[in-house]
Amino acid sequence: MAEATADLECRGINKDFGTFRAVNDVSFAVPPGTFFSILGPSGCGKTTLLRMAAGFLEPTSGDLLIKGRSMLNVPPNKRPVSMVFQHLALFPMMDVAANIGFGLRRRGEPREDIARKVDAVLARVGLPDVGSRRIEQLSGGQKQRIAIARCMVLEPDVLLLDEPLGALDLKLREHMKVELKQLQSEFNTTFVYITHDQSEALVMSDQIAVMNHGVFEQVGGARELYYDPKTAFVAGFVGDSNRFSGTIESIRGGKLKARTPSGFAMTGTSAADGLSKGDSVDIFVRPEAVRLALSKPPVSKLANATAGTVDSILFNGANSRVLVRDEATKNEIDVAIPQTGEFAGLKRGDKVYIGWDADQTRCFAAGKS
């Protein structure tokens, strides 16, 4: 993966704060034109990593390259990267055009060139007439676009984005997700985006790195992370999951049987190598992988079949869920309701049959995360 032409490349990056290691031996390469997300909970080190790329922090060890050139000891104002800050950091003392022109003025470009470039980038972000407005006169979405325009006018090799959607309300955030992705493909620039919001990462990214406790747990496409998580942390963090614990009773090839504390024998697939009989495992099953039925036959052929009563219905349009109190595992299982009309009349206290396949039952060694 580490091609020589990668826009941003990290080689064994470490960052210590005193005795605390915030970033631990992280290596990755971002190919040109990629929308690369770093997804992780707060405190996982993703902001530290981004600030090292921007130049506000120096790595304790390791190398950081942009377009193949080492950036160690290169100050932020000399790096070919730009950053969109969490709260955007637009300059309230200047109007929009002066904000966007700030970087160009620092490069000493002629006044008429600056004006032309500012107009061009404003047109590209779809706000052609706001140049003379003050920052506080802009809406949240407009500020977002101006912040991106202010960086893109400098034609950076890599644009770094530090959770810029965090401050927006839900509706605007959904809208800006699509818009950011469109802007990225329009500018065809490498975006490195950090977020703790998995849906932002899943919707927008070409590549996602899931980060936890300073290390990259897994790097891959959105589908890969969702359908084929390599660690328990990724399985739990990306998407929703029902989580069980159990002890392996038998294991052959990738298939295993694990017994839950309540005595239910779960048939599953081992997602990682090195599991053996007697190991404790965490078992993850996605809500949409659970088959829901009002009678027994449809689920009885599945590797794991059980029955339960409806505890509550979480109606959310197409994403409606039902919480089933399962008899076998004594767990509350989150099940997606198929939108076929069959379960439209489902109500609290109903008896239902549920089952899921062994392939959809992913087991990881317990204790991590």
| Residues forming the site for other proteins (CB under 8 A) | 54-56, 75-78, 81-83, 85-87, 89, 91-94, 102-103, 105-107, 150-151, 154
Based on CB atoms, which residue is closest to other proteins, 75 or 297? 75
Based on CB atoms, which residue is closest to other proteins, 2 or 89? 89
Q: Which of 334, 246, 325, 326 is nearest to 282 (CA)?
A: 246
Q: What is the Cα–Cα distance from 305 to 293, expressed in whole angstroms? A: 11
Supply the minimum distance, in Å, between the C-beta of residue 14 and other proteins: 22
Q: Tokens 């107009």 appear where?
A: 119
Supply the minimum distance, in Å, between the C-beta of residue 29 and other proteins: 22
Q: Tokens 């998995």 appear where?
A: 198
Based on CB atoms, which residue is closest to other proteins, 50 or 290? 50
Residue 225 · residue 284 · CB < 8 Å:
no
Supply the minimum distance, in Å, between the C-beta of residue 193 and other proteins: 16
Supply the minimum distance, in Å, between the C-beta of residue 3 and other proteins: 26
Q: Which of 315, 306, 311 is nearest to 324 (CA)?
A: 311
Based on CB atoms, which residue is closest to other proteins, 98 or 305? 98
Supply the minimum distance, in Å, between the C-beta of residue 153 and other proteins: 9
Residue 231 · residue 216 · CB < 8 Å:
no
Max Cα distance, the chain (Å): 77
Q: What is the Cα–Cα distance from 50 to 27, expressed in whole angstroms? A: 13
Based on CB atoms, which residue is closest to other proteins, 75 or 349? 75
Supply the minimum distance, in Å, between the C-beta of residue 49 and other proteins: 16
Supply the minimum distance, in Å, between the C-beta of residue 76 and other proteins: 5
Based on CB atoms, which residue is closest to other proteins, 67 or 213? 67
Strand order across the beta sheet in which 304-314 lies: 291-293, 351-356, 304-314, 321-326, 332-336
Sign of the alpha-carbon dihedral angle for 87, 93, 95, 101: negative
Count the helices and strands in the chain (H runs, E runs): 9, 20
Residue 251 · residue 277 · CB < 8 Å:
yes
Read out DSSP for 119-132?
HHHHHHTT-TT-TT
Supply the minimum distance, in Å, between the C-beta of residue 254 and other proteins: 47
Tokens of 321: 């869920």
Based on CB atoms, which residue is closest to other proteins, 149 or 285? 149
Based on CB atoms, which residue is closest to other proteins, 109 or 240? 109
Neighbours of 46 (CB within 10 A): 29
Residue 74 backbone dihedrals phi, psi, to 5 degrees? -95, 120
DSSP single-letter state for residue 254: T
Q: Which of 41, 344, 73 is nearest to 212 (CA)?
A: 41
Based on CB atoms, which residue is closest to other proteins, 77 or 316? 77
Supply the minimum distance, in Å, between the C-beta of residue 233 and other proteins: 30
Residue 206 · residue 37 · CB < 8 Å:
no
Based on CB atoms, which residue is closest to other proteins, 57 or 310? 57
Supply the minimum distance, in Å, between the C-beta of residue 9 and other proteins: 20
